[in-house]
Structure 1
Amino acid sequence: MQAKKQALADQLNLKARQIEVWFQNRRARTKLKQTEVDCELLKKKCQNLSDENKRLKKELHELRALEVGSSPLYIQLSKAATLTMCSSCQELFKPNEGT
């Protein structure tokens, strides 16, 4: 490795130490760039988890706020699920699943 470094230094009319520092700096820049990419990815994941947490808390609040009446109560929890509360057994079920 020392020979390669010296050959490159001779070819570029630089000192071997300058070559060594250049490669150290390049490694540091590469590591910093990767850290920035990782940080952005983690920020996006954190935001997605925060959004999901907020949605789930809202859904939980809606479920806790339900009052069982004399007839089945329909609520829209999300775009994907509509649940029915059975007034006799107080269980939630999807309308096409039965009680």
Structure 2
Amino acid sequence: MVYEQNLRPAEEQHQPWLDRVERQLLAAYDLLEAEFAGVTDGWSFGERPMQADITAAVTWRFTRHVLPDTITTGRYPRLDDLSRRAEALSEFVACPIP
């Protein structure tokens, strides 16, 4: 979507493909949101973030950064919360998105 919307000339963009990829992206985030349903105040597998938490937080933040108009605010509260908690960790603070 980033390539199609930002790097290809408008007259060459293929809207049906963009629509399909957006549906796939939202479906994936719907499933990921459901996976984090049981996570309330910790991480998905305990007291500290594991690979699943880190990967989800990084991809979520990246998507929000490069496709800010694609994800509706409030649609994914668990992923928003996960990202907020992860972004507060010193490891994330040390590597901000420019």
| TM interval, short-chain normalised | 0.3 to 0.5
Name the structure where strand makes up a greater proportion of residues. 1
Task: Identify the structure with bigger relative contact order (alpha carbons < 8 Å, sequence gap 6+).
Answer: 2
- Give the structure-2-normalised TM-score: 0.35
- Give the structure-1-normalised TM-score: 0.35
Name which one, 1 or 2, has greater alpha-carbon Rg.
Answer: 1
